[in-house]
Amino acid sequence: MPSRSDVYYFGAGPAALPQVVLERASASVLNHDNSGVGLIEQSHRSASSTQIVASACQHLETLLGVPKDGSYTTLWMQGGGTTQFSAVAYNLLGYWVQKSLDANNGDLEAVKAALANAKADYLVTGSWSKKAAEEAQRLLGDELVNVATNSKAATKKFGSIAPEETWNLTPKENNIFSYFCDNETVDGVEFPAFPASLEGTLVAADMSSNILSRRVDVSKYAIIFAGAQKNVGGAGVTLVVIRSDILKTQPTVDTLRKLGLPIPPIMCHYPTLTGASSLYNTLPIFEVFICREVMAGIIARGGLEAQEKVANEKAEELYSSLDQGGIYNVVPEKNVRSRMNICFRIEGGEDVEKAFLKGAEERGLTGLKGHRSVGGLRISNYNSIPQEAAAKLAGWIREFAASRK
């Protein structure tokens, strides 16, 4: 049986974590801070838990450069990114409704008239943004959702992002909000930068698989969310950074009923959860603790500037090996290749891909199988993957290609 030091795990999530974090977490499970009580056992409302959540928020805000003027609020929630598909739709629609009410002196009929032309714009560039758009359509109705671009429509498969000038965006005066997935974990597509055509709209972004891997201008976003289990921690907790005015500008339940609009479940209602400092219900404190320790490590290594440099260097080495191999077909178009999820196929079909995987596992390189929905192979190059792991895998990519010639 191999030891942990013999294996480099490239799984897409739950993903590898730094060994030093796991060692600290293991000790805390048995006896957290010499309290005689394990971290998993302690109350989520204890002073210790409150301190863990508060310091995790501080680390996240430091890394992302969240404005210190109170214009944004940080939240930790149970569950994964899929829950946020619903929460984003509920809360941003609510914000639009209340702003419209205020602009029309509380006239519900005027708001109903405005709703006739209002749309939430979704950029569908992969499997996860597709699911987000489908959830918005299920909750809000097709009449309030506009798929402004769909990468799969023309090519029948994901792997590209259409030029912005081709997007069918709702006029800004009728836009409820805009939504995109910054990095598509399944399909290996990443936005190179913030979409310029979304400037001036209320923007929500799913950063589940590239959060804390590069610098972000938080001021461009209304909501940023990310499931922790790829770059930040383990499964079961999600981070949310939300503009504070959205929390303060929400309609009453009675107003939503009168307008015939959906009422958010309490666990998807951001104002309720932030009002309780992320502790409205039993938050998985152990998972937040792991996130805090991972983020502390990133800060100690130089923050996002240093982390972005490492992420880019690893991705460049891996893509270079694939491009030069002669037998590999990288799935996404070159201009939107993800630095985090490197998806590819090998000439010769599944038997050849199985041979590649077998040889990789013999060398301690695991977790390389592609998502079940698309097959192929996928290298998840998350923050906890050390440069020596990427170098070893790049070497195997070159070695396998040479063996096929």
255-310 pLDDT, tens per residue? 999 999 999 999 999 999 999 999 999 999 999 999 999 999 999 999 999 999 99
CA dist., res. 351 & res. 395, Å (int): 21
Percentages helix, strand, coil for the chain, rounded to the nearest 5?
Answer: 50, 15, 35
- Two tokens, residue 136: 């918005």
Do residue 283 and residue 334 come from a single domain? no
What contacts 348, CB < 8 A, 6 or more positions away? Answer: 327, 404
Q: How many alpha carbons lie under 13 Å from residue 234 in its C-beta half-sphere?
A: 12
Number of domains in the chain: 2
Residue 328 pairs with which residues in a beta bridge?
Answer: 346
In a domain, 244, yes or no: yes
pLDDT tens-place string over residues 220-264 = 999 999 999 999 999 999 999 999 999 999 999 999 999 999 999
Are the CB atoms for 140 and 118 separated by under 8 Å?
A: no
Contact 392, 365 (CB under 8 A): yes
For 13, half-sphere exposure in the C-beta direction (CA atoms, 13 angstrom radius) is 25
Domain edge (last residue) among 261, 280, 298: 298
Q: Alpha helix locations (H) across 116-268?
A: 127-140, 151-155, 244-248, 253-259
pLDDT band, residue 153 (cuts 50/70/90): confident
Last residue of a domain, one of 298, 327, 346: 298
pLDDT at 134: 98
| Average pLDDT value for the chain | 97
Q: Does 380 lie in the same domain as 278?
A: no
123 pLDDT above the threshold of 90: yes
Is pLDDT above 80 for 215? yes
Same domain, 222 and 366: no
* Residue 353 CB burial class (10 angstroms; 0-12, 13-18, ≥19): buried
252/206 same-domain check: yes
Alpha-carbon torsion angle 341, 163, 114, 202, nearest 10:
50
Q: Does the residue 28 lie in any domain?
A: no
Can you give the C-alpha Rg of the chain in angstroms? 22
- Asked if residue 405 has pLDDT above 90, the reply is no
Neighbours of 32 (CB within 10 A): 23
Same domain, 127 and 242: yes
Instruction: Examine the domain organization and report whether 128 and 229 are in the same domain.
Output: yes
Token code pair at residue 167: 């997007």
- 221 with 307, same domain: the answer is no
**Cα distance between residue 42 and residue 30, in whole Å:** 11
Question: Of 265, 298, 331, which one is at a domain's C-terminal end?
Answer: 298
Asked whether residue 154 carries a pLDDT value surpassing 80, the answer given is: no
Identify the CA nearest to 112 among candidates 101, 103, 123, 121.
101
DSSP 8-state assignment for residue 340: S
Q: What is the DSSP string of 94-111?
A: HHHHHHHHHHTTT-HHHH
Asked if the model's pLDDT at residue 156 lies above 90, the reply is no
Pull the structure tokens for residue 129: 């943004």
The residue segments making up the domain with residue 389 are 8-18+303-403
Q: pLDDT tens-digit profile of 305-326? A: 999 999 999 999 999 999 999 9
- Tell me: do 310 and 220 sit in the same domain: no
- Give residue-wise pLDDT tens across range 339-386: 999 999 999 999 999 999 999 999 999 999 999 989 999 999 999 999
CB contact set of 32 (below 8 Å; sequence gap of 6+): 38, 39, 42, 48
77 beta partners: 238
Q: Among residues 19, 286, 337, which one has the least CA distance to residue 184?
A: 337
- Sequence-separated (6 or more) residues with CB below 8 Å from residue 102: 249
**Model confidence band, residue 37 (pLDDT cutoffs 50, 70, 90):** very high
The pTM for the full model equals 0.97
